[in-house]
Every structure is written in structure tokens, then in C-alpha cells.
Amino acid sequence: MNDRLERALTHTAHEWTPDPPDISAAAARAGLLDVAYATVDSPVGRLLLARTPRGLVRVAYVPPDGEDAVLEALAGKLSPRVIAAPRALDEARRELDEYFAGARTRFELPLDWHLIRGFGRRVLEATARVPYGAVSTYKQVAAQAGNARASRAAGNALGSNPMPIVVPCHRVLNTGGGLGGYTGGLERKRLLLAIERGQPVLEGLG
């Protein structure tokens, strides 16, 4: 076979090679996609986003050893049918990009609260109402959730927040103004508060 013919056949083969099947789309059409997820890079490190048909259900800081533990927890608490489906998270990624760019002050994503219930959910719903650029305290969000004396329980709920950033637990501080705790570490909390105060962020977290 001469070189010209071989190149022509190779080119034709490449033209007709079908695209790999979109497993997530096929699963969705078959009703088998209970939890879709994607990972994205951000100024506060790599994030794993997950959603159900109801809405966004998880925003997780991906740990150094990878995302497996987060996915296993989702499978155990929601459904074993957890599939990588980046397109299903396009809206969440777009809103997060706008937030980190300082162009979005309020998330409009539908949320699925299945991973937290009872008093903890009420605490997070109160937290979601803290305005962009403002702060509240553990005592205040506990009071708004129905028990002003439950600051410690409010802190536990905030520490278990399944959707940090979108449900802005970084805006909740100690009564005296101290940062308190944060599930993603205090460096991330400081960075998120700086973004919302319009302070220049020269370098994000790896």
C-alpha cells in the first residue's frame, strides 16, 4: 500500500470513528441518574459539586487523597447511582464562577436539603439569608432557627453544612467577632470573606 493511500484510509477511519457514548445522558434517559457530579477548580481549591433531580445537594472541598470518600458518602446517604455528569452541573459551575469573579452576590440554584434535617436545616436556612458581604453569629442563626441558647448545636450544623459557599456558613462568626470554625479550614473562610468585601485576592488555594 502506498503512503498516499494509507494516509487517506487513516483519515477516513478517523472521520468515521464514533464519539464515545455519553454514559450520563444515557443513564438520565433511562431514569438511572440519581446523583450527578462534577469536579471544578476554584480559588478555594478543587470542589466536588453534586445534584439530584431536586437541585444542588453537595458542594465538597476535595481532600488531598481524592474524591472517593465524598462519592462513597453520597452513595451511602442518597443513592448508589452516582455518575459523573459535568453538563448537569453547568448552572452551578457558572454561578460559582460569577461569585468568585465578584459578579454574583446571590445564588439562585435550586437546592436539595436531603443531607441535613431538623434544627440543623433550620440553622442553614437562616444562614442562607445572611446577605452577601455581611456576617452573623452562631447565637443569631440559632435564634432564627428557633433556639437562641443552642449556639453549640448551631455550630455543629454549620460544620456539617453539605453546601458550603452556596449556603454561606463562612459568614457566621463567634459572638465576639472571632472567625470561629470552618469545615474547609480558616484560610478558606478568610479568603471567602475577603472576596465578599471586595478585597484583592492575589492567589487562591491549591
3-state secondary structure 155-181: HHHHHCCCCCCCCCHHHEECCCCCCCC
- In whole angstroms, what is the distance from residue 4 CA to residue 80 CA? 51
**Maximum Cα–Cα distance across the chain:** 85
Alpha-carbon span 55 to 57, nearest angstrom: 6
Choice between 7 and 172, residue whose per-residue pLDDT is larger: 172
Q: What is the pLDDT of residue 8?
A: 39
- In the chain the domains, ranked by start, together with CATH numbers, are 1-113 (3.30.160.70), 118-196 (1.10.10.10)
Annotation marks residue 169 as catalytic:
yes
Confidence class for position 173, pLDDT limits 50, 70, 90: very high
List 111, 166, 169, 195, catalytic entry: 169
Query: Is 2 a residue whose pLDDT tops 80?
Result: no
84 beta partners: 37
d(Cα 152, Cα 158) in Å, to the nearest integer?
10
16: three-class secondary structure by DSSP: helix
pLDDT of residue 22: 53
The residue type of 38 is: A
- pLDDT at residue number 24: 53
Q: What angle do CA 82, 88, 93 make, to 5 degrees?
A: 110
Which stretches of 67-169 are assigned E, i.e. beta strand? Answer: 82-84, 136-137
Confidence of residue 1 (pLDDT cuts 50, 70, 90): very low
The C-alpha cell at 199 is: 478585597
pLDDT for the residue numbered 202 = 52
Helix (H, G, I), strand (E, B) or coil at 63: coil
β-bridge mates for residue 205, sequence order? 44
pLDDT in tens, 102-115: 999 999 999 999 99
CA dihedral 45, 124, 67, 103 (to 10 degrees): -30
Summarize the confidence of residues 166-186 as an average pLDDT.
93
Q: pLDDT tens digits, residue range 41-66?
A: 999 999 999 999 999 999 999 999 99
